[in-house]
Chains A and B, each alone.
Chain A
Amino acid sequence: MKEKKDNRAPLFAFRYFVYDFIKIGVFLTSWLWFRPKYIYESKEAKLRLRGGALVLSNHTSFLDPLYLIYCLWYRRQRFVCMKEFYNSKLRGLFFRLVGCIPIDRENTSFDSLRDITDALKSGEVVSIFPEGHIGWTGDVAEFKAGAVLMSSLSGRPIVPIYIKKPARQFFSRLTFVIGEPIDITAVYGRRLNPQKMQEIAESLRENEIKLKKLSGEDK
């Protein structure tokens, strides 16, 4: 899979029309409403993302994909979502048009994994919620090791992000904590066995908890 030289997607392309329409239509008004605050873990975390990257975030509400669009507003993202979202024709069409990648959580297919790694290798940003479900309590649940596998297969870094849920939904400021990109292949090597992947997933979860503390959330 060839990565674009400058990693820049065209400013306008028909296949991004619906995504861009939502982004521009919803972005400005809601951005002003939520007045997001950005906290960076380090200087490296502040650098803009170039090329393929796997964004990992905590998942506490249905609005999280929208929040991630605010967070990395300068890049188009492809969200990994449940296959069940495609059950209705209209919903399926919508998710296809916004470029989501469906994944069957019960019976994961190898084609989905390839779709994700191909997108990453071609220089796209793929966003995933590694907890696999919405955590209504706000605690960071166990991370699935699949995200590590995706990053390791594609050779693209993981970018951890913590979304601090507004204290009063729709009335408080939104806070994002952006972590330093983690190059899995550079740190842990190219060939990882499942046990190692599980260990890395656990360390990514610990890192997410660290970002949570940086956001000022104690619990």
Chain B
Amino acid sequence: MTREEIVTKLGEILEDTLGEKAAGFSEDSGLMDGLGLTSVDMLYLIIATEESFGIRFRNIGIMDLRTVGEVADYIEEALR
């Protein structure tokens, strides 16, 4: 899976989580600061990500993933 495909899929999950607020996001968009995700939104986002990418987020907390790009990095690493 390419980086672009990962980000596109992440965008779909973000849209599902946030609705219209997710429009116009970029890899640099902050999850909690920029897009305004709450801690429950973050947990939901990660669970949905785990399900759709078939990966597991281990030893990582919600504050460790600050931007969309960082989530994409983690997914890329986990899929390798």
Contact = CB atoms under 8 A, between A and B. Distances in A.
Contact of B40 (A109, A110, A111, A198): A198
A108 B38 CA distance: 12
Nearest to B46: A110
A161 B4 CA distance: 48
B23 interface: no
A106 interface: yes
Interface in B27-80: 38-44, 46-47, 50, 57-64
B64 A145 contact: no
Given A153-B47, A194-B17, A145 B60 contact: no
B59 A109 contact: yes
A29 interface: no
A113 B42 CA distance: 12
B16 interface: yes
A76 interface: no
Contact of B44 (A104, A111, A193): A193
A149 B61 contact: no
A197 B58 contact: no
Interface in A103-147: 104, 106-111, 113, 144-146
B44 A146 contact: no
A107 B63 contact: yes
Interface in A77-107: 104, 106-107
A132 to B, nearest CB: 10
Contacts of B44: 149, 193-194, 197
Contact of B39 (A111, A146, A193): A146
A145 B46 CA distance: 15
Interface of A: 104, 106-111, 113, 144-146, 149, 153, 193-195, 197-198
Interface of B: 16-17, 19, 38-44, 46-47, 50, 57-64
8 contacts: A106-B63, A109-B60, A110-B61, A111-B59, A144-B40, A145-B40, A149-B43, A198-B40
Q: 7 closest pairs, A vs B, by CB?
A: A107-B61, A107-B63, A145-B40, A109-B61, A194-B41, A110-B57, A194-B44
Given A104-B61, A193-B44, A194-B38, 4 more contacts: A107-B62, A110-B60, A145-B40, A194-B41
